[in-house]
Structure 1
Amino acid sequence: MKAMILAAGRGKRMRHLTDSMPKPLIKLWGRPLIEWQILALKKAGFKDIVINVAYCADKLLEYLGDGSKYGVRITFSIEGYTHEESLETRGGIVKALDKLVEQNRSEPFVVVSGDIVTDFPYKSLKSAAKKISEGQAKAHLVLVPNPSYHEGGDMGLEKGKITRQQKQYTYGNIAVFSPSIFKDIPSTKTPLFPWLYDFVDQGLITGEIYEGNWANVGTPEELEKFEKLPPYCYE
């Protein structure tokens, strides 16, 4: 199973840090944010990683290379070289689909954001992927308790299925997808939501709640706060 790291955005709330650098290359605990994600995926057994890039794409390509220095194989899905060319989440996944799924095959794949900080055990997603392969669901989302900056939440969870009622949880930017839901749609600039809610309403999206360490480092103040904490162990 392959994994995709989303790294095409700019991170507007992190300016001035991202005026000349993509947010995933901002350093935390001595390493770029995206590097922690690569190490976490490797630890979980993911060796083939696709990374989508747009804003400051050349810097990500140069820094990460082919992944050999991490013991993985990195393939880039280049959407462009500016923020305006980024395709957002759904569009980015569609564009990268041929790199995520081998020809004439339909294995699920993992998608995570390159700028979250978490010790979520990615290896546990393989059981969700098995259920998707068996046709029991079209996707599996990891939810987290609503952070202070998003108290309204995104969705709920009932009997293992994602719902749009009781929005006490936020999408944690960690998921497993069946490639079938992305086939035959254009790779235009499109977010994941509200499009994915059509599948939620059909009862086709499972989920789980993670109450461990997780954060979307969205501001310089949050970055400074995390710098004072012990680093999560990914190696």
Structure 2
Amino acid sequence: MRAMILAAGRGARMRPLTDHTPKPLLKVGGKALIEWHLLRLAQAEITNIVINHAWLGEQIEAYLGDGSRFGVHIQYSAEPTALETAAGIKKALPLLGEHPFLVISADVWTDWDCRVAPYLAQRLHQQQALAHLLLVPNPSHHREGDFDLAHGYIQSKTSTSSYTYSGMGVFSPRFFDQVNAEVPTPLREPLHQAIQQQKVLGSLYQGQWQDVGTPERLQQIEQSLAH
């Protein structure tokens, strides 16, 4: 199984930390955010990894290299300007192959076990679905949530019992059939269509997870690791 780590964002809310350092290379617990993901993927024996980048992307390539020191093999999908999630993944599809792959946002912190990913991919095949999203309980900075979850399927948000998309999921390449790789496109556009067709599975993860969106949240993780 292959994985894609999304690392093309500007990280504007993290400024000034991201003025000269790409957000995925910000350090927590002595390691870059993206480094934690690589190590977890290596432990799960998911070793073929694609990383997209835009803002200060040359620093990401210089820091990670071919991935061998982390026990993985990295290929890069460079974007002259950030394409947003859906188009960025579509551009990288030639590197990801024909089978479902794991997608992880570089700027989340989590202890989720990547060894679950092949089982989620198997469920896509069994249910003839296009994606499986990992949801988390709504954090304090996003109490309204993103989606409802019912009987293992993602639904558009209609109630107060909603959850937040974790930035992690397993996707079939077919999910991106209608996405243009040259037009910046957020993930929510193809997601909306696939949800309407009941083609998006989901599950709730209640372990450690944090969207590292601000310097304060980065500091919170640093403090939790110190204890």
Bucket of the pairwise TM-score, normalised by the shorter protein:
over 0.9
Q: Tell me, in whole angstroms, the C-alpha distance in 1 between the residues paired with 2:116 and 2:189.
A: 26
Deviation at 1:221, TM superposition (A): 1.1
Q: Matched residues, percent identical?
A: 46
Residue 226 of structure 1 corresponds to: 221
Instruction: State the superposition RMSD in angstroms.
Output: 1.4
Q: Are the aligned partners of 1:120 and 1:212 in contact in 2 as well (CA < 8 Å)?
A: yes
The one-letter code of the counterpart of 1:158 is A
Q: Are the aligned partners of 2:109 and 2:209 in contact in 1 as well (CA < 8 Å)?
A: yes
Deviation at 1:121, TM superposition (A): 0.9
Residue 172 of structure 1 corresponds to: 166
1:61-76 aligned within 5 A: 61-76=61-76
Relative to 1, partners in 2 of residues 1:49 and 1:7: Cα closer, same or farther, differing over 3 Å?
same
Deviation at 1:91, TM superposition (A): 0.7
The one-letter code of the counterpart of 2:225 is P
**Number of residue pairs the alignment of both structures matches:** 224
Deviation at 1:93, TM superposition (A): 0.3
Once the two structures are superposed, residues 57-113 of structure 1 have per-residue CA deviations (whole angstroms, 9 ceiling, x without a partner) of 110010000001111100000112xxxx00010010000000001xxxx31001000
Q: Tell me, in whole angstroms, the C-alpha distance in 2 between the residues paired with 1:146 and 1:194.
A: 21
Q: Tell me, in whole angstroms, the C-alpha distance in 2 between the residues paired with 1:51 and 1:231.
A: 29
1:186-201 aligned within 5 A: 186-187=180-181, 188-201=183-196
Instruction: Confirm whether residue 123 of structure 1 aligns to residue 123 of structure 2.
Output: no
Instruction: Confirm whether residue 183 of structure 1 aligns to residue 177 of structure 2.
Output: yes
Residue among 137, 140, 152 paired with 2:144: 152
Instruction: Report the 3-state secondary structure (helix = DSSP H, G, I; strand = E; otherwise coil) of the residue aligned with 2:34.
Output: helix
Deviation at 1:133, TM superposition (A): 2.9
Q: Tell me, in whole angstroms, the C-alpha distance in 2 between the residues paired with 1:45 and 1:133.
A: 21
Q: Are the aligned partners of 1:107 and 1:133 in contact in 2 as well (CA < 8 Å)?
A: no
Relative to 1, partners in 2 of residues 1:72 and 1:186: Cα closer, same or farther, differing over 3 Å?
same
Instruction: Report the 3-state secondary structure (helix = DSSP H, G, I; strand = E; otherwise coil) of the residue aligned with 1:222.
Output: helix
Deviation at 1:135, TM superposition (A): 5.1
The one-letter code of the counterpart of 1:145 is P
Once the two structures are superposed, residues 22-58 of structure 1 have per-residue CA deviations (whole angstroms, 9 ceiling, x without a partner) of 1000000001000001111111110100000100011
The answer for unaligned runs of 5 or more in structure 1 is none
The one-letter code of the counterpart of 2:175 is I
Q: Tell me, in whole angstroms, the C-alpha distance in 1 between the residues paired with 2:24 and 2:178.
A: 30
Q: Tell me, in whole angstroms, the C-alpha distance in 1 between the residues paired with 2:185 and 2:150.
A: 27
Q: Which runs of 4+ in 1 moved over 4 A?
A: none
Q: Tell me, in whole angstroms, the C-alpha distance in 1 between the residues paired with 2:213 and 2:180.
A: 29
Q: Tell me, in whole angstroms, the C-alpha distance in 2 between the residues paired with 1:184 and 1:213.
A: 34
Once the two structures are superposed, residues 107-135 of structure 1 have per-residue CA deviations (whole angstroms, 9 ceiling, x without a partner) of 10010001110001111121110122345
Instruction: Confirm whether residue 94 of structure 1 aligns to residue 90 of structure 2.
Output: yes
Deviation at 1:231, TM superposition (A): 6.8
Task: Select the structure that is richer in helix.
Answer: 2
